[in-house]
Each structure stands twice: as C-alpha cells, then as structure tokens.
Chains A and B, each alone.
Chain A
Amino acid sequence: MGLQRRTGARVPMEDEQIVALYWQRDEKAIEETDFKYKTYLLSIAYRILNDSLDCEECLNDTYLGTWNAIPPARPNLFKAFLTTVLRRIAVNRYHSNRRKKQIPSEMTVSLSELEEFLADDADVERAFDSMQLGRVISAYLYSLSERRRFIFMSRYYMAEPIDAIARDLNVSRSTVNKELAAIRVGLKKTLEKEGYNV
C-alpha cells in the first residue's frame, strides 16, 4: 500500500491567494502570512538581531508594513517582498540597538568582513543617498555570475553564516570565503570608481 496523505493537516495558502486577501483588506491575510512564513522570517530577524523579543516585534512590524503596502503594491514574489520588508525593519532596529550595545549577531560578523571599506557608524560624518548606493550595488551585482550574486546576497543581505552558504552550494567553507574575497575586491573598486570614499 502506498503512502497516504494525512488528512486534517492545515495546508499553507498559495501566495497569490494571500496577496488577494491583502487586496480585499481581509485580516485573514496576516494570519495566513504568519502561518506560512513566521519561521522563515524569524530566522532572518534572529540572524540580524540575536534577540527573541526584538525578533517578535520585528515580525509584527513586518506584518503591519505589508498590510500598509498591499495595496497598492502587487508583489511579483510574495516571499521576496516579505524578506525586503522584514530586512528593512530589522536593520533599522539593529543600528538603533547598536548605538546602545554591541550585538553578537551574524549581521555584526558579516559587517566586520567589510571593515576594509566600512567605517564604524560614529566615525564618519558624510551621509550618502541610500537609494543611489542601492543602485550602484545592484549594478555591480548584476555584473557578477548568478552564483556569486547568490553568495553575496546570502552573506551580506541575509546575513547567512558561511557554513550555511557552503552547505547550500555543496562546496567547502574555504571556497565560499574565496568567492567572498573576490566579490569584496570588485565591490571596493566599483564603489571607489563611483566616488564613494571607502
């Protein structure tokens, strides 16, 4: 006899249906988002903040931010949309917390790898246009191979540990480290060329 599907288990809703609920202003949208993506979103938040309470608050802010953004937004890929919203909120909280204390999170470690061209927040006065900087980094990433883009996004956008990236790609840690080093060299050159003082 073949395996039988367990009956009664709750099945996550399709992303398109969840987005439709947001458009209908149905609060069930948040419930369904939470059911489907809570664990995923908390894992990202924890890598940035390393504090369970902060992560829960971030999660609630993410749901609220998504509720406010859809409509009018129509995300191409709902999971990516949630990732972006959560990261923005978590990163703001990270830097706010960091002014008060050192945060032992993977985000702190990944930022330390970039210290050859990033100064501590208190050190530099000049402020950059973050949207312009986003465009410069995006253009640089599009010039890389898909594999390198994935490694960059894993490490510096999602604050994934090196081990996890190596496991994803089925390669050794040293391979990931070598790739990251090459990416940083190219990034530094690009930022310098674009007039950033790094």
Chain B
Amino acid sequence: MKKEEWNQGLNHLDSGLVEEYVKKKETLAKRRAARALWMRMGVIAACVCVLVSSVLVVPMLSRQMPGGEPEQSTEDSTVEDTSTEDSSEQLIAPPRFPKFNDEELQFFSWELAFPEYIHEKNYTPTTVIDRELYDRCDYTETLLNVKTKWTFSDASSENLFDGPDSILHAEDYDLIICDDGTAVDLMTRGLFSNLLQYKYMGFWHPSWSSSLTENLAVGDKLYFATGSVSLNFLMQASVVFFNKDLVKTLDVREKIQNNWDEQDLYELVASGKWTLDKMITLSQGAYLDQNENKTPDAGDRCGFSTHAAMVDNFYYSGGYTTVVSDGDTWSIHSAFLEADVMDPLLAAVNGLLHTSKDGVLESDALAAQTAFANGNALFALATASDAYEHYRKQESLAYSVLPMPKHSETQTAYAAVPLSGYSVYGICSQSDIPEITSTFLQVFAEESYEIIRPALLDVLMRGRYAEDPEDTEMWETAIDANVLDAGRVFASYFGETRTDCLTTTLFRAAVEQNTAAWSDAIDPYKASLAQYATYLAGMIAVLPN
C-alpha cells in the first residue's frame, strides 16, 4: 500500500471518529488547563516561599553564624531534596508531588462489599476492575517512592473498639478505610485528623465527591472523604435504570417527542427537563398482568420499581439536603420542615408507588432487582451495583441509566444520594507521617478517577464504555449527581437516641406507610429535631483539632 493511498483512506474515515476525537481533545485540554492552573498557583506559592525565606532566613543565619558555615538543617528529612542546579527548569515544570524515602505506610481496611485494594500480586482477576485496583496502589507507591502494608479486618465495630486489640490503641495505622457508618464512630472517638490541613490534599479534584467540603465539613474540618477514590461509593451511587426494549414497546420516544419537544430520554436529561412528573407520566399505562393472576406482583410488567432504602432519593432529587450548615451553626433544612414542599412530593410519590399499579414499592432489594433483571420494569431506582451483581449478567436485558429526575426544570442540577455502606478514607490522628499519608491519599484518589472509574463503568455497561458515548455520558451524569448530606452521614446524631436517625427515617417511613400529610410524619419529632444543635455540639466537642 502506498503512503498516499493510506492517507486517502484515512481521509474517508467514519465522521464519527473525527467528532469523537475533537470532543475528547477538548475535554482533555480543559482538564489540562485546570491542572496547569493549580500548578501555576503552586509555582507562585513556591516563589513567595523562596522570597520570604531569602528575606528572613538568610539574614538570620548570617547574624547567627558570622563568617561560619551554615548550620546543618534539622528540618524534617523525610522528603528527598529534588532541587537541581537549574532552578528555572524546576519553576517551569515543578513536580506536583514530592518523592519520599521508601517509607512504609500502614493501612487498615474493613472488609467491604467490594475490595478497595487487591493485595495479592498473583491474584486471579475476575474483571478489569481487579487489575486496576492492583495497579492503582502500585502506581501510587512508585510515583511517591513509598510502600504500603495493608491490614484487613472483617470484625464487627464492637470487637474493634473494645479490648486489648482495639483499633483505638493501635498507633501504627496511618490510613483507615471503612464504611460511612463506622467512620462517624471513629471520628467521634478522635481517630481521624482534619484532612483540610494537609498541603497535598486537593478536594477540587473530581476524584472527590463535589459536595464533600460543602456538606460534610464539621466546624471547618473534614475528617474523612470519599468519591471516585472509593469503589464502594461508585457502586452505591443511586441511579435510575431503564429498559431499552420497553422504551420501544411502550412508545416512550413518541411520548417524549409529542409532549416535551425532545427526541428521547437522553435529550430530556441533557436539556434539563428530566423531572419527576415526566417519569411518572412515562410510567403510566405500563402495568400489564403478565402472569394473569389478577394481582399486581413481581411477575407483572410495571413502569417503575424500587425498594424502601432507595426512597430517600425522591426527597434529595429536589436539590435539598436534610441539614444545612453556615459555618459553625447547623440547622434542619427548611424544605424538610415545610408541608408546602413535602405534601405535594408525598402525593406524587405515593400516587406512583401505592395508588397506581404502574409503580411498585417492592418488599426488599432483591425483589426490585429481580423485577428489573427479568425485564418487567421500564424504570428502576437502584444502586449502580445492581448492574454489577444482576443486570449485566442478563444477556437479553438491554439497559442504561438516567440520573434521578429533578423536582422541577428550573432546578440547576440533578441530585441523588448514595446508599449507605460506601467506603470512606480517613488519616489516623496517631499517624506520625500524616503528610506522606495525605499525599498518598491524594495521588491514590486521582489515579482512581483515571483508571478505576472507567474500568467500573466499562463493566457496568458490559464493555461498551468506550463504544457508546451517549450511554457513557448518562452513566457519568447519573453517578456524579450523587451528593453527600450531613443529615444522612451523621444521622445517628439526629434524634434522642442513636437509633432514631430522624433525618433518614422520617421521609422513608412516610412513603412506606402511604402517609398523605407530612405533618403527620414529622410533628411528633419536631421537638427532637430542634435539638440538633445540642447533639451536634456534643459531637464536635470530642473531635481533635
């Protein structure tokens, strides 16, 4: 083949390839620009430091040691000196992270639903995710020149907090990985240090949940973090699955085109018009007594299916949290207390799940998963992990996801909450190398965003991550819509007893019991909710600085 013929062949590539390239190039350019901005800020900071030290330190040293040799530095020597003779070169491209001196970091991890690290080099990978889990740690160790030693435990919290082997006495750990519920326990026992004090932690990076510092900082301190760094967080993200075959059977596209002037579900989402009332409308008329037993059950076709634990999303999808903070003062979100907001919401959700046959509130997670896996539900509100555990294995099931629908088109963003049980990362307050640990954590998180998240989505999408840009964008949108709420994470502090968890139980119970008036659900607990400040003050009082 001639070179000219080759080039002419390339000139006739599918136009989709050129479009994909142009889009990807623009995305990467934006990402690089963001990186460069932070590097520039780093350079400016470095220049200021150099200036300040040359103004202050040099005269001080010359006063202390007139004519003598400079004293040997007694500074922390854990960071290798990476300076070169050509300082201008260093300023042009400073390394974002330092190299360390082969230190060993001790990590403690609870055994979670999905592993956060594959610790056997000769493991047998079951999916591409396993390989990336191993590579993530390997890459981070190599980049920073450190080693990690992982200790895993499947013991219950109680065993770990009491007795001679209690984790509270363990001074060796640098990083702790646990589920969100246990993290609150550890935090209030003073086991975590404030992540916002470490210079290499960067919560601007998309590997961290966007709502972390805004919603979970306690008195301007953040004790644990999660986001794409956590495989379990991605797995527990709430999304709305839809059945592609039922979309055709039930003429969903036609309904969208006729009623809302958009082409399909994806365009509805992209235009910001994907709302709860539209999902309910599209679910209407889907019910079919497939097993002909004249009773609505899991064998029938329906428009929407979910289970109780997911119901909270109907509230959060309005863009609300249950608790808001304005610095040191926290309060219950006004929407959570107002009948004007909650009554119409309950009417819509209860109408879908109880009054109509088109929506089903299944008795448990498995029943809801089975209904969707068997192709019986048009929409299913569930966690991303359902695709991993169930849907991807059903060859005949064609599915994708949408974000949780908004309450109104005027809302700025889609919103949902991850189901509890995701993993969070905290730096042990007893660690004697917290700066190294925090640097490791930041690199680890960024690497997760680069390799773990795409690998996971590839598996959830049955290998179509790279091939199907529309589906991919929707998965990304649906997962990124998941935010954190202090009222949910610290739920055990909202109520008179640690098991009340009022900020997570009240709305769910109102839906489960088909309560019509929100006042019936919340009024008995208003006095208790009003005590939030006291409960929170008690929690903050025991936290380390």
Residue ranges of A at the interface with B (Cβ–Cβ < 8 Å): 76-77, 79-81, 83-84, 87-88, 91, 94-95, 111, 114, 117-121, 123-124, 127-128, 130-131, 133-138, 141-142, 144-147, 149-150, 153-154, 156-158, 167-170, 191, 196-198
Contact = CB atoms under 8 A, between A and B. Distances in A.
Nearest to B35: A170
20 contacts: A76-B15, A81-B15, A83-B18, A87-B10, A91-B10, A95-B4, A111-B6, A118-B3, A119-B2, A119-B3, A120-B3, A121-B4, A133-B12, A134-B11, A135-B14, A137-B13, A145-B466, A153-B20, A156-B10, A157-B13
Interface string B72-100: 00000000000000000000000000000
A94 B3 CA distance: 11
Interface stretch (B22-30, B365-373, B481-489): B22-30
**By DSSP majority rule, is chain B's interface helix, strand, loop, or mixed?**
helix
B12 A135 contact: yes
A128 B466 contact: no
B169 interface: no
B154 interface: no
B124 interface: no
Nearest to A148: B466
A2 B541 CA distance: 36
A136 to B, nearest CB: 8
**By DSSP majority rule, is chain A's interface helix, strand, loop, or mixed?**
helix
Given A91-B7, A118-B6, A79 B22 contact: yes
A158 B21 contact: yes
B1 interface: yes
B9 A153 contact: no
Given A130-B9, A133-B6, 20 more contacts: A80-B15, A84-B11, A91-B10, A95-B7, A117-B1, A118-B3, A119-B2, A121-B2, A121-B3, A124-B1, A128-B1, A133-B8, A133-B12, A135-B12, A137-B9, A142-B14, A150-B21, A150-B24, A154-B25, A157-B17
Contacts of B13: 134, 137-138, 141, 157
Nearest to A191: B1
Contacts of B25: 150, 154, 168
Contact of A80 (B22, B29, B466): B22
A25 B13 CA distance: 28
A168 B35 CA distance: 11
Interface residues of B, number: 32
Contact of B466 (A147, A156, A196): A147
B6 A114 contact: yes
Contacts of B28: 168-169
B19 interface: yes
Interface of B: 1-15, 17-25, 28-29, 32, 35, 450, 465-467
A158 B465 CA distance: 24
Given A128-B9, A130-B8, A138-B14, A197 B1 contact: yes
Contacts, number: 127
Nearest to A157: B10
Contacts of A167: 32
A152 B32 CA distance: 20
A26 B450 CA distance: 44
Contact of A154 (B14, B21, B450): B21
B20 A149 contact: yes
A187 B10 CA distance: 13
A83 B18 CA distance: 8
Nearest to A153: B21
Query: Ordered nearest first, which 9 A-B pairs have the shortest CB separation?
Result: A134-B12, A133-B9, A146-B466, A130-B8, A138-B14, A153-B21, A80-B19, A80-B22, A95-B4
B527 to A, nearest CB: 43
Contact of A131 (B12, B15, B467): B12
A91 B11 contact: yes
Contacts of A77: 19, 22-23
B18 A84 contact: yes
- B2, B7, B25: most-surrounded residue (chain A CB, <10 A): B7
Contacts of A145: 466
A111 B398 CA distance: 42
Nearest to A171: B450
B10 A137 contact: yes
Contacts of A169: 28
A145 to B, nearest CB: 5
Contacts of B10: 87, 91, 134, 137, 156-157
A130 B1 CA distance: 11
Given A117-B1, A121-B2, A168-B25, A76 B19 contact: yes
A34 B250 CA distance: 47
Contacts of B8: 91, 130, 133
Given A141-B13, A141-B17, A142-B467, A118 B22 contact: no
